[in-house]
A and B are shown apart, each in its own frame.
Chain A
Amino acid sequence: MSAYSVTEPTGRSKLVAGLLVTLYAVVTLLPLVWIISTGFKSGPDSISYPPKVVFDPSLEGYVNLFTTRTRVAAEEFQNLPPPETWYDEIVRDSGMVIAGPSRFGERFLNSVIIGFGSTFLSIFLGTLAAYAFSRFKVPLKDDLLFFILSTRMMPPIAVAIPIYLMYRELGLSDTHLGMILLYTAVNISLAVWLLKGFIDEIPREYEEAALIDGYTRFQAFRKVVLPQAATGIASTAIFCLIFAWNEYAFAVLLTSGTAQTAPPFIPTIIGVGGQDWPAVAAGATIFLLPVMIFTILLRKHLLRGITFGAVRK
C-alpha cells in the first residue's frame, strides 16, 4: 500500500467517528446495564428516585426469583428458629419466610429442553435438505426453496389459530414435543437457507474424489462434507437456538403450564403491589446472558445469519 491513500480516512475524521460511535454504544447499552444492575438492587433501591447508580449490592432479587415467600404473624415470626442459610436470612430481613421454590427453574429448564430439542431437529433435517439442494438436481428446486422461505412471512398469530386447534385435537397442547416440532418448523427455513450457502462453498471436487476412492454418497456426505461444514453448522445451530430461546408469541398462546418457557414467565413475576423488578431483572439477566455470550462468539457470521444468507462478508 502506498504511503498516502485517498480512500484512507484522515486521523481527525477517525477520531470524531470513534467518539460518536462510542457515545451511541454507551447510550444503547445503558438499558442492558440497567437490567443487570437492577438485579442486584434491594427492593427499595430499585424504585428510588432519582434512580440509584451507586447502591449496596443485594442478592434479594435472585433469592426472590427462585423462591416463593409468605408473611407470617408477628409473634410466630419471633418464635422461628434462626435462619439456617444465607438466602433464608435475606428473606427474613424483609419480614417473610421461604414457602418453597418458584417455577423459574422449571421454566428455564423448559427453555433449555425446547431450545436444544428444536435446534437439533432443525439442524438434522436442515443439513440433509441443504445438501440435497446444493448438490443434486431437485425438481422445482427454486420453487421449493422459495416456499421454504415464504413460510417465514406468516404472522405467528395467524399460524397459531389452526395450530392451537390442531394441537388440541392431537393432544400436543402444552407439551415439549409440540413446541419442539413447532419451533423446528419455524427454524427450518433459516437452517436450510443458511446451510445451503455454507455447503455451496465446499468444493464438489472433494466429494467426487471420495466417490472415486470407492465411498458411497452417504459416506462421502458423512466423512467429507459434514466435517467441512462444521463451522457453518455450528453457527446455524446457534441462530436456531437463539430464535427458539427468544420466541414469545407461540409460547404464550400454546403453553400454560408444563411446557411453558421462560419468556412468557419472566414478565409475570409479581411482588408486593406490582412487578418485583429486582427479581424480574435477575431472571432477565440469567436468561439474556447466554445469548450475549453466543452473540460475541458468532460475530463473524452474524450478518449472514440475520439475512438468511443473503449477505455474506
Chain B
Amino acid sequence: MPDPIAAVARATPDPIARKVRGLSDRAIAWLFVAPTIFLLLAINIFPLIWTVRLSFTNYRANRPNEEVEWVGLRNYVRILTDDGIWANMQTTAHFLFWTLFFQVLIGFTLAWLINRKFKGNDLLTTLIVLPMMLSPAVVGNFWTFLYQPQIGLVNYVVELVTGTPASSFSMLGPGGYAPWSIVIVDTWMWTPFVMLICLAGLRSIPDYIYEAAEIDRASKWRQFWTITIPMVLPFLMLAVLFRGIENFKMFDMVVLLTGGGPGNETLLASIDLKREAFEKWRTGYSSAYAIILFVTVFGLASIYVKALNKVKER
C-alpha cells in the first residue's frame, strides 16, 4: 500500500512550494557543496597545478631568491633516463607485488576459515583487525626494535624455531633481508584489510547456491572453484585496488623501518621523492618526479578499474 504522506509529498509541485519557504533546492545544493569543492581546489588542485608548473623549471625551494629558469621537458627526460629511478621503480614493484601476494593469500584464507562461523569468530576478527588501524609510523618505528639482531624478538624466535644463531643475521642490515622485512611488516599490518573485504564477499554468497550444487553432486573442491572464488573475486579485486594504491604511495612505515637502506635496497619511489624534494631541495626536478608518479598510479588504477567492472558484469 502506498504511503499517503509520501504520495502527497510527491504531488506537491517542488519548485513553487519550496520558493515560498525561502531558498530554492538548487541554491541549497550549491551552498552545501561549495565549501568542500573550494577547500579541495585550494589544498589539492591548486597545488597540483603548481607542481605541474614547477616541474618545467629548475626552481629550488631552499634558494627562493635565485633566478628561476624554464627548462622545458628536461626534468622529465632526466628522470625517465635515470637508472637509479628505474631501480627504485623496481624496488617499489617488488614491494607492491609481494605485499599484495601475501595479503591476498593469507587474508583470503583467514576469511575462509572465519566464515566457518566457529564460536568466538567475532571476537577474534576484532582482535586480528587491530594492527591495520594503528599509526604506521609509530608501529614501524617499534618494529626496528623487534628486528634488532642482538636483542630483538624476531631474531630470537627465528633462533628458537630454526636454530640459526640470532646474532648471525640482521633483518634490516646488509645481507639482502631488508626488502623482505618491509614486506613482512606491511603484510602483518594490512592482511586484516583484505580479510575483512573477503569476509564480506563470502558472506554475500547465498546458501541456496551451495545447496543447488550439493543436489547436483558437485564436489566441495568444485564448489570452491566454480562458486566461491568467482563470487568473491570482485571483492578481492577491490581490496587489491585499495592496497595497491596505498602501497604505491607507501612512505611512513618504510621510512621509519629502513629509511630506504641499507644502501638503496628499500628505497621506494616516494622515499626517493622525499629525499629529492626535502633533502636535496631539487624542487623543480622532484615536481616532475611527483607528476610521473601520480600519472602512473592514476593510469594503472584506471586500467584496473575497467578490468574490475568487467568482472563485476559477469
Task: Give A contacts to B, CB under 8 Å.
Answer: 5-7, 9, 13-15, 17-18, 20-22, 24-25, 28-32, 34-35, 38, 47-51, 125-126, 128-129, 131-133, 136-138, 144, 147-148, 150-151, 153-166, 168, 181-182, 184-185, 188-189, 192, 205, 208-209, 211-212, 214, 216-218, 242, 245-246, 248-249, 252-253, 262-264, 266-267, 275, 277, 280-281, 283-284, 287-288, 291-292, 294-296, 299, 302-303, 306-307, 310-311, 313
Contact = CB atoms under 8 A, between A and B. Distances in A.
B72 to A, nearest CB: 19
B21 A212 contact: no
A212 B197 CA distance: 42
Contact of B251 (A144, A246, A249): A249
Interface in B1-38: 3, 5-6, 8-10, 12, 17-18, 21-23, 25-26, 28-33, 35-37
A273 to B, nearest CB: 13
B102 to A, nearest CB: 13
B294 A291 contact: no
A302 B196 CA distance: 9
B303 interface: no
Nearest to A166: B47
A166 B44 CA distance: 12
Nearest to B21: A216
A152 B297 CA distance: 11
Contacts of A7: 207, 210-211
Contacts of A150: 298
Given A21-B124, A205-B5, A160 B116 contact: no
B153 A6 contact: no
Interface stretch (B75-83, B139-147, B171-179): B139-147
B121 A49 contact: no
A239 B10 CA distance: 36
B91 to A, nearest CB: 15
B311 interface: no
Contact of A299 (B42, B119, B129, B252): B129
A153 B135 contact: no
Q: What is the predominant secondary structure among interface residues of chain B facing chain A?
A: helix
A280 B256 CA distance: 13
Contacts of B278: 160, 164, 253
A267 B256 contact: yes
Contact of A188 (B3, B40, B249): B40
Contacts of B48: 154, 159, 162
A151 B79 CA distance: 24
B136 A248 contact: yes
Interface residues of B, number: 112
B273 A158 contact: yes
A192 B37 CA distance: 11
A296 B130 CA distance: 8
A313 B196 CA distance: 10
Contacts of A208: 5-6, 9-10
22 contacts: A13-B116, A14-B116, A14-B119, A21-B113, A22-B124, A28-B188, A31-B143, A31-B153, A129-B32, A132-B33, A138-B29, A161-B47, A182-B43, A184-B39, A208-B9, A212-B9, A218-B23, A248-B136, A288-B135, A291-B135, A302-B196, A311-B200
A214 B157 CA distance: 70
Contact of A153 (B36, B113, B252, B294): B294
Contacts of A14: 116-119
Contacts of A266: 137-138, 141
B9 to A, nearest CB: 3
A208 B61 CA distance: 55
A157 B274 contact: yes
A47 B149 CA distance: 11
Contacts of B249: 154-156
B29 A132 contact: yes
Contact of B270 (A30, A131, A155, A168): A155
A25 B127 contact: yes
Contact of B153 (A28, A30, A264): A30
B242 interface: yes
A35 B153 CA distance: 11
A292 B134 CA distance: 8
Given A185-B39, A246-B136, A128 B32 contact: yes
Given A25-B124, A51-B152, A208-B9, 19 more contacts: A18-B119, A21-B118, A22-B124, A32-B131, A34-B153, A49-B156, A136-B29, A138-B29, A157-B277, A162-B46, A162-B54, A162-B287, A163-B47, A212-B5, A217-B23, A266-B141, A292-B134, A295-B126, A296-B126
Nearest to A9: B116
Contacts of A9: 116-117
Contacts of A165: 50, 61, 283
Contact of B130 (A17, A29, A218, A262): A29
A184 to B, nearest CB: 7
A286 B139 CA distance: 13
A18 B110 CA distance: 10
B36 A246 contact: no
A250 to B, nearest CB: 10
Given A24-B128, A155-B290, A205-B3, A217 B22 contact: yes
A137 B25 CA distance: 9
A158 B290 contact: yes
Contact of A6 (B37, B200, B211): B211
B231 interface: no
A255 B231 CA distance: 46
